[in-house]
Structure 1
Amino acid sequence: MKWTRQDLQQYRHAKEYVDTMIIPLLPFQLSHDENLEHNAFQREMVSAFTRELEKELSGRVMLSPDYSYLSSADKEAERERIHTWVTDIQFQPFGHVFFVTFDSEWKKVEQALEGTLIWLPAIVEESMKSSEIQSIIRGQVQEVTKLIRSYWKRS
């Protein structure tokens, strides 16, 4: 389910089945021109990835709104801010929270996150065709789907 009015109406009637929240972590930094296009491309890739992941695991996952932060922000401070999201999410019956990002800086605070970090290696945009990118995303979705299902089996 996505963060849309229609899906949220369905969620209210199927809460007991939807136990997993996926939160995309997206950096941006308008003050650094050299990173604008790269950050925008990474956002597009995370969005494409999480949409495909939500489709693959439909009926059991909720895709949250994007969590956006400044690239230069202190990750420990962002971790505390994310904690407020997770605290609010836990009022619903979400037993699993997954954070999805291409930003490897999150690995430094991964142990302190109240959920599971899924760090994906960055996709290089230069000279790649959209069909190649789709193929890479599809492969990553298949692998991450297996990972998430392994968490479900444990609980």
Structure 2
Amino acid sequence: MQWHKKDMDQYLQAKEYIDTIVMTLAPFQFSNDQELIKLTYQEELLHIFAAEITRELSGRTVQIPAYHYLKNSDKEIEISRMNEWIADCKKQPFAHFFILTFDAAWKKHEKALDGNLLWLPSVQLGDLHSKEMQQYIREQVMQISELIQSYWQNE
């Protein structure tokens, strides 16, 4: 399910079966021309990954809005804010919270997060609609979906 009214109406009717949140974690930095294209491309790709994972695991997952932060922001402040998001979501209750990111800097902070960080290696800029990229996305989605399902099995 996506963060759309129609999907949230559906969620409210079946929420006892939906126990997993998928959120993307994306840096924002408009002030750096060198990073601008790379960061926007990565955010587009993250959104595609999250949407495809949510579709692949439909019936148990909800994709919430992306969490954005300034690239050079204080990670401790961002961790506190993200953990507030997670705490609010877990009031529904959700048992699993997955955070997708291309930013490897978050790996050293993942233990402070109240969710599971899934770091994806960044990808070279390219056409998101090319056959090669579509195949890459499909392969990554399958692997991530299997990983999420392994968390479900270990409940």
State TM-score, norm by structure 2. 0.96
The aligned residue for residue 54 of structure 1 is 54
Stretches of 4+ aligned residues off by more than 4 angstroms: 126-129
Which amino acid is the alignment partner of residue 132 of structure 2? E
| Runs of 5+ unmatched residues, structure 2 | none
Moved more, 70-79 or 12-21: 70-79
- The CA RMSD measured in Å over matched residues stands at 1.3
> Equivalents in 1 of 2:109, 2:26: separation in Å?
16
After superposition, the Cα gap between the structure-2 partners of 1:86 and 1:131, relative to the gap in structure 1 and judged at 3 Å, is same
Moved more, 19-28 or 120-129: 120-129
Q: Percent identity?
A: 45
State TM-score, norm by structure 1. 0.96
Residues 75 and 105 in structure 1, CA contact (< 8 A), matched pair in contact too: no
After superposition, the Cα gap between the structure-2 partners of 1:144 and 1:30, relative to the gap in structure 1 and judged at 3 Å, is same
> Equivalents in 1 of 2:128, 2:116: separation in Å?
30
The aligned residue for residue 143 of structure 2 is 143
Matches within 5 A, 1:102-113: 102-113=102-113
Instruction: Count the aligned residue pairs.
Output: 155
> Equivalents in 1 of 2:127, 2:154: separation in Å?
41
Shift in Å, 1:127 = 8.0
The aligned residue for residue 45 of structure 1 is 45
Residues 29 and 36 in structure 1, CA contact (< 8 A), matched pair in contact too: yes
> Equivalents in 2 of 1:91, 1:127: separation in Å?
39
The aligned residue for residue 94 of structure 1 is 94
| Runs of 5+ unmatched residues, structure 1 | none
> Equivalents in 1 of 2:83, 2:59: separation in Å?
25
